[in-house]
Amino acid sequence: MKARILWIGMLTFVIVIMNFTPIVASEKEVYYSKQVAVLVYHHLDPDVQGSVTITPKLFERQLEALQRDGFMFISFDQFKRFKTQGADVPDNAVLVTFDDGYESFATYAYPVLKKMRIPAVNFVITKDLDDPTAPKLHALSKEEIKRIRSDFPKIEFQGHSDSLHQMQDGKPFLTNKLVLQGVPETEDQFKSRISQDTLTMITKLTELNAAREVNGYAYPYGSYDAQTIALLQQAGIKFGFTTTNGITDFAGDPMQIPRINAGSPYIRPYSICNLIKRAARNEGNNPQAARHFHAS
């Protein structure tokens, strides 16, 4: 009798589980399809917070919140196939990016990404590879890039210029002619400087096996125009990442990819999901109304 009761109890449990499982599986909500939300971070610091600096704990909690809410992380390779071929991406697709190539990426971000098996892209200022301790915020070293690439190849390193991440009189090097010893650059000198800088950047990253193909570029300070886009494309860049807030689809210009600034201490884990959902809802709005985040 006891065996019969135990058997009935187990059968009831199995039936309940079988009936419950499809309900759970069907509850995943689709916020957007055939689109990708590109998140951007800069610097992680356990003790200091700023406009583009957050703690490693907040970073991890943001990613956990996104996973719980049904967002799906994709690699840069997946993203590129989506943008060039219209290849499928999962619903609620997210690409994680970092700008500037800070050492904090290796120290704090990489362990979290590796543990959670989340792909990412870091846009590196390649002149800093020659002396990573020279900048106030130390940069990634060549050895760190090699180690990360060998350990977790779904993390890639693309370009944030070689030495154009600077300003002269408040004007970004990338989009403005320089004045050297009182003499402004000629048009040919300007074009040559942009082209050579981009080729140098690509060469340095290629030699490190920093990516399967180095053809992505985050515009320094978010500054770009039609002329510099053309010069970058001639040098081999196919994907340009901006500081315009938004979400991208297959039809969007691959040289003007919008991103969402997730690296602010004001973006708590409970709000990052809503931030992406709002960007998805606003897709298609007048681009003149697009917001920009502070880029460094």
Weakest-pLDDT range from 5-9, 108-112, 179-183: 5-9
What number is the average pLDDT over the span 259-263?
A: 96
pLDDT of residue 222: 95
pLDDT band with cut points at 50, 70 and 90 for residue 5: very low
CB-neighbour burial class of residue 136 (10 A; exposed 0-12, middle 13-18, buried 19+): exposed
Question: What are the structural domains of the chain?
Answer: 34-289 (3.20.20.370)
Paired with 40 in beta bridges are: 97, 261
- Cα gap 251→231, rounded to integer Å: 22
Strand segments, DSSP code E, in 67-138 are 72-73, 93-100, 120-124
In the predicted structure, residue 252 carries a pLDDT above the cut 90? yes
Six token digits for residue 126: 């390649």
Q: Are 238 and 261 in contact (CB under 8 A)?
A: no
295 C-beta neighbours (distance < 10 Å), count: 22
Q: Output the average pLDDT for the chain.
A: 89
User: Which tens digit of pLDDT belongs to each residue from 131-160?
Assistant: 999 999 999 999 999 999 999 999 999 999
- Strands 35-41 vs 248-249: parallel, antiparallel or unpaired: antiparallel
Q: What single-letter DSSP state applies at residue 256? A: S
Q: What pLDDT sits at residue 3? A: 42
Stated pTM of the model: 0.87
Two tokens, residue 14: 């199995």
Q: Is the predicted pLDDT of residue 19 greater than 90, yes or no?
A: no
Q: Does 17 score more than 50 pLDDT? A: no
Half-sphere exposure of residue 110, counting CA atoms within 13 Å on the CB side?
A: 23
pLDDT tens by residue, 58-77: 999 999 999 999 999 999 99
d(CA 71, CA 91): 8
Is the predicted pLDDT of residue 12 greater than 60, yes or no?
A: no
